[in-house]
Amino acid sequence: MSPSRFVSVLVALAAALLVLLLAAGARADESIFDPSRDKLHLDSFDLALTGYSQRGNGYQSQAGPPGGPGSQALTVWEPMGYFVLKKGQKLTIRILAPFDMVTAASPNAIDKTRTDTISQASRQNEAGSIDTSVTYDVSKRTTGTFRGGIHLEEDFRSWNMGLAGTRSFAEDNTTIAAGANQIYDWFDRFDYRGLRHARTQRGTTSGFVSLTQTLSPTTVGYLNYGLTEQNGELGNTWNAVPLVSNNYGGEVLPQHRLRHAFVARLAQWLPWNGALKGFYRMYADDWGIVAHTVEGQLYQRFSALFYARVSYRFHTQRGADFFRTVAFDDGNFRTADSDLQSFDAHSVGLSGTFTVPQRRIKGLEMQAAYERYFRTNDLDVNVFTWRTGFRF
Amino acid sequence: MSATKRPTPSLRPSPLLVTLTLAVSTIVLGGCTAVPQNRRVHLADPMMSVGDDPLETYRKQKLYNTREGAAGGDGAASGGGCGCQ
């Protein structure tokens, strides 16, 4: 079976499972359906500001010595809003709206008199997204979710939509979920010299199945398998590749990519008002990338109003088969993108969450978080986040 | 552009992965004893959520998806972007 057909079959199976789940739920709970029980109201909203400060070098960037790795330094400020609206007991609408303000989105040493990759992108870039999801509780045990979103970024346009469903069993001790998503990206094709070559596109189809299981009064487990197929232009189009001729060339990437990811999570309550969470993820695709990721998170509640978290994440990946720091100009697949290289990455994080007592609203929550990400091929990122949440 | 060579698929699962998958599956499926709702008080604490909150999830996607070639593929939808970050 070809990869495309395999993905199509998986997506069809996920859709069929979703329909069956929704149908089963509808039959089981028709009697309590009452859409006029309550009016649409704001249930909660969160506002967050995240800052990313990145330093490092990669061979895909021309902002360095000829043939050597160039700068990947950038700063991103990202304000976000997340709103939850509810209508009665059954309808929940979630809206996520992040906006990016990026400096030095594509640092490079291209002739400054010529058009840069995406106008002014090497200096500044703004982007915004709106993702919405509507979840309907078909019954006490069954939910269905429709989602849709759009992403705007300079010349870049992206649309996505998806369906998902969940079904609980055994007094909600077991929950299975399945879903499918489709993303379509449409953008200008700028080459590594900053020259525009009309528009191009890519499509992404994905599906997942997951299982959440209560293992004991203090333990929850979770498994997820996801499959993603991508077709079209799969690069950002302007990454450079150093050539043996001491010149630069563009990336040459396959027009197809099939990606598998398996995730396992475990959350364990600790007797001293704490929690320990474990995460493992295995990834493989047909570009030759294989990766393993593990993460541990330790939570400690110090009072009813405050808890803190420390976390450590380790990621190791084998690079794409066609990664090169210097390549022949022979038309074979090639990339010098450091993200597609073999490397190990470490991430340590710390956060604190405060609940501020309020009389007028149900809750006011504030969170501060810091994460430091660093990896073995010359890249490190500091991430700061402040979030304020209002519950009604 | 001249003809290009497709990479060789390398999706054969390692023995370690198979063993780990079986171990995790056994642990999870072995726990299929129903826990009554009145004994799940600890599971209701926000610290015990098996996933991150939506903003945290988005922040992590932003951090990892644009820096690791092995990110994504989880079947979850994510907004597009130039990938320049």
> What are the structural domains of chain A?
3-391 (2.40.160.40)
* Rounded-to-integer distance, Cα B85 and Cα B65, Å: 9
A299 touches chain B (CB under 8 A): yes
How is chain A split among helix, strand and coil, in percent rounded to 5? 10, 65, 30
- From the list A230, A221, A167, the residue with the least C-alpha distance to A201 is A230
B26 touches chain A (CB under 8 A): no
Strands A240-242 and A248-250: antiparallel
Handedness of CA A284, A286, A288, A289 (dihedral sign): negative
Full-model pTM: 0.83
Specify whether the CB–CB gap between B82 and A105 falls below 8 A. yes
Identify the pLDDT of residue A116: 44
A225 touches chain B (CB under 8 A): yes
pLDDT band, residue B50 (cuts 50/70/90) = confident
| Interchain proximity A154–B82, CB inside 8 Å | yes
| Interchain proximity B80–A183, CB inside 8 Å | yes
Contacts of B81 in chain A (CB under 8 A): 127, 151, 153, 156, 158
Q: Which two tokens stand for residue A213?
A: 């299981």
Could you tell me the CA-to-CA distances from A142 to A31, A171, A223, A255 in Å, in that order?
14, 12, 19, 38
- From the list A271, A259, A196, A192, the residue with the least C-alpha distance to A231 is A259
Q: What interface predicted TM-score (ipTM) does this complex get? A: 0.81
| Interchain proximity B76–A181, CB inside 8 Å | yes
Residue A331 identity: G
- State the best of B8, B22, B25, B85 to mutate against chain A, taking most chain A CBs within 10 Å: B85
Residue A291 identity: A
Q: What is the pLDDT along chain A (392 residues), one digit of tens a residue?
A: 454 554 555 555 555 555 554 554 444 444 445 454 578 999 999 999 999 999 999 898 888 888 888 888 888 899 999 999 999 889 999 999 999 887 765 554 444 444 444 444 455 678 899 999 999 999 999 999 999 999 988 778 999 999 999 999 888 899 999 999 999 999 888 888 878 888 999 999 999 999 999 999 999 999 999 999 999 999 888 889 999 998 999 999 999 999 999 999 999 999 999 999 999 999 999 999 999 999 999 999 999 899 999 999 999 999 999 999 999 999 899 999 999 999 999 999 999 999 988 787 888 999 999 999 999 999 999 999 999 999 88
Residue A44 identity: S
